[in-house]
Chain A
C-alpha cells in the first residue's frame, strides 16, 4: 500500500490513536542493542558518545495532567474505567502544572471541547501536522542522536522533526526570531547534556488537551545519561506570564535498536483536520 496514501486515509486516526498506542508497548522487552561501554566512549571532539536511537519508556502526548494516554482516555469513555499513568511532572511535588488562574481556565476550556471541536484552536497542533516543539518531542516516539563535532543533533522519525544544538557557546539568534523548536544552546556537565532554549515560537502545545506555555518561556533541559542504554530527560519550564512558578517534567528514555527511519509524511496526506468537525466555522477552512 502506498504509505503516504495510508496516512491520507487514516489522517487524524493516526495522530490520535495509533500514536499513543505506539508508545504503549511498555511491557515488551527491549530488543538488545549493540553493547556499549559505560561510562561512554568520547567522540573525537570530546563529547560523551550517546549516539543512536532513543525512545521514552512511557510517553504519549494525550494529557500531562492528569497523565493519561489517548488509548486510556478512549477506553475510559467506553468503560468508565479511569487508568492514569504516573505523572511526568516531578516538580511541583503534587504533580500538577502550576498555571496562573487565567491560564488554567483556558486549558480546562480546551480539555472540555477537544473531542467535539467548534473552533480551529480546539484542534491539537499535532493533529494539524505542525511540529511538536520542545519539550513535547521528548515524550514522543523514537529519535536519533547524532554528535557531529561541536553540536548535538536530534532527529525524529515522525514529523521528520530535527533540532541542532550547538555546544560552542555561540550567541543566540535575535529575540525577534521565533522557532518551532526554539534556539537551544548546549553544554556537557559530565554525562549530562544541559540545553537552554529560548526563541520559542510556542505554537505547539504540550498535549492534545491544551496544556501550553507562551513565547516568553525559557526551557532548561537536562539529558541525564545514567547508563549505556538509559537516560532521564528533564525539562524545566519557566514562563512568568503563564505559570506561578517554574515546573519540571522528567521522562525516562531507553536506547532502542538503531533501525532505519521510514518516511513519515503527515501534512502531505492530511485531509481531515480541517474537517474533523462540521461544527467548525473557520474562514481559513472554508476557503480550502
Chain B
C-alpha cells in the first residue's frame, strides 16, 4: 500500500472510531444495563411496587451475615437519608434513581457509584472500621446538587441491631 492510500485509510479509521466515542453519553445507560444484565425499573413508579417501596429501603440483614442496602437517589436527596451498616461485613449496595443521573460517593474512601434512572446500580462495599462517612452526590443533578449529601454510619458488629428478615435498619431507627 502506498503512503497516500495508507494515510487516507488511517484518517477514515480514526473518524469512524471517534464518532461512537463522542456519542458515548447516549449509549452508556443501555450499555451498562446490558453488561450488568439487570432488568429495567420504572423510575416514575418506584414507590408503588417492587424492590424500592418505602418499607424495603435501608439496611437488610442477609442469612450469610452480609447486609444489603437499598436506596433511592432523587433530586436532591438520597433516601434513606442516613444509612447504618456494621463494620467489617460485606455491604451489597443496590441503588436506583427516580429522576436524573446522580453519583453516590463516600468521602474518605474510593467508592463511587453512578446512579442512573431506570437501572439498578450495584456495588460491593466494605468498611473495616466504625466511623461516619458523608455521602455527597458528585454528578451535577440540578439546582440543589451542592446540598445533596447524606450520611453513612458504620458501627461495631455487636452494636448493629439484629434485624428480622422483613425489618430494615437506618440511623433514625436507633
Question: Is B one of A's binding partners?
Answer: no
Contact surface of B with A, Cβ cutoff 8 Å: none
Contact surface of A with B, Cβ cutoff 8 Å: none
